[in-house]
Amino acid sequence: MPDLRQLLARCTSRIAQAERLDAESRADAAREARLLVSGVLRITPGELAQRLSAVPSSLPSALPSALMSHEDIERIELALHRRLRGEPLAYAVGWAPFRHLELMVDERVLIPRPETEEVVGHALAVTADQSGGLAVDIGTGSGAIALSLATEGRFSEVVATDVSEDALAVAAANAQRVLGPSHASVMFRHGSDLAPLDGLRPRVIVSNPPYIAYDEAAALPAAVRDWEPPLALFASDGGMARYRALIDGAHDVLFPGGWLVLELDASRAGITAELAVARGYQQVQVKQDLAGRDRVLLAQVPA
């Protein structure tokens, strides 16, 4: 049975030679291997490093062998096989971190991104001055936004919607894992845009909608284009269809003084903000992400 160091070395070697992976992944194969192994073991890369450093170099297999089971090794081998086929790392290991959560992910849902964590942060900030009420996540996917609002926000209830029943199944499974008795309840509804709300009056609507134009598909990384669900990526009208529907519809749905918070594509940020102003929202703001790109639209309906 290989020890942890041997397994990491083997993963690194195979990733470095994998033709289906992008050049960046192959060039930093050691990092990819550490992320894959730590992901399967459900530990951080830092914790993995601690396990390795705890073993004297003269006895490389003493402690790692004790820490690894045959089941762990089999799961790592399976994840490596999937990664070598070109699957995104999160799909290969079966989960992805998001804020303080660990979420199950697979090909039915978009992989949560760090940029979306910032969207949630802005939604929490504009709603922090009061408690109770309803929050809505449109296009919930894995449930990342909805479950973060439920566990970190001051809401009585969260409604998560998606046009994909497969995605709702993933989100519901994640809810069972992460929600506790002190958190807001989360309800899942099937449907497009605001149709599932059916008379509800939320005080915040948050969404990371599909915003990539169909003719932009060829420019996407293969790991995104070939593996992540097109329904969560692409929108008609040059990528603007979902933005237009949400900005138009949310104005009449939100509780007076409520907020619309949207993740933006930087190339469409200006026109999206103009749509919000034209629709009559107040305090329309575009916030940048940590990389300095226009990323989040904040817009408030009149009180």
Q: Is there a domain that residue 24 lies in?
A: yes
Q: Is there a domain that residue 215 lies in?
A: yes
Q: What is the predicted pLDDT for the residue at 2?
A: 58
Residue 54's pLDDT band (boundaries 50, 70, 90)? low
Same-domain check for residues 142 and 285: yes
How many domains does the chain contain in total? 2
Look at residues 93, 118, 146 and tell me which one is the last residue of a structural domain. Answer: 93
Give the whole-number percent of the chain exceeding pLDDT 90: 82
Q: What is the predicted pLDDT for the residue at 243?
A: 98
- Cα dihedral sign for 87, 93, 95, 101? negative
Q: Which of 61-70, 105-114, 211-220 has the lowest mean pLDDT?
A: 61-70
Q: Is there a domain that residue 99 lies in?
A: no
Q: Which domain holds residue 113?
A: 107-300
Q: What is the mean pLDDT of the chain?
A: 93
Same-domain check for residues 51 and 130: no
Please determine, for residue 56, whether its predicted confidence score (pLDDT) is greater than 70.
no
- Alpha carbon distance 196, 25 (integer Å): 40
Q: For residue 237, what is the DSSP state?
A: G
pLDDT in tens, 231-266: 999 999 999 999 999 999 999 999 999 999 999 999
Look at residues 69, 93, 117 and tell me which one is the last residue of a structural domain. Answer: 93
Same-domain check for residues 280 and 161: yes
Same-domain check for residues 167 and 37: no
Query: What is the arithmetic mean of pLDDT over 2-7?
Result: 78
Residue 41 sits in a domain whose CATH number is 1.10.8
Please determine, for residue 64, whether its predicted confidence score (pLDDT) is greater than 80.
no
Q: Is 58 in contact with 69 (CB distance < 8 Å)? A: no
Same-domain check for residues 227 and 164: yes
Q: Is there a domain that residue 100 lies in?
A: no
Look at residues 71, 93, 115 and tell me which one is the last residue of a structural domain. Answer: 93
Same-domain check for residues 154 and 281: yes
pLDDT in tens, 117-175: 999 999 999 999 999 999 999 999 999 999 999 999 999 999 999 999 999 999 999 99
Same-domain check for residues 36 and 166: no
- First CA to last CA distance, the chain: 66
Residue 197 sits in a domain whose CATH number is 3.40.50.150
Q: Is there a domain that residue 98 lies in?
A: no
Alpha helix stretches (DSSP H) within 88-156: 89-93, 114-126, 144-152
Q: What is the predicted pLDDT for the residue at 5?
A: 84
Please determine, for residue 53, whether its predicted confidence score (pLDDT) is greater than 90.
no
The reported pTM is: 0.91
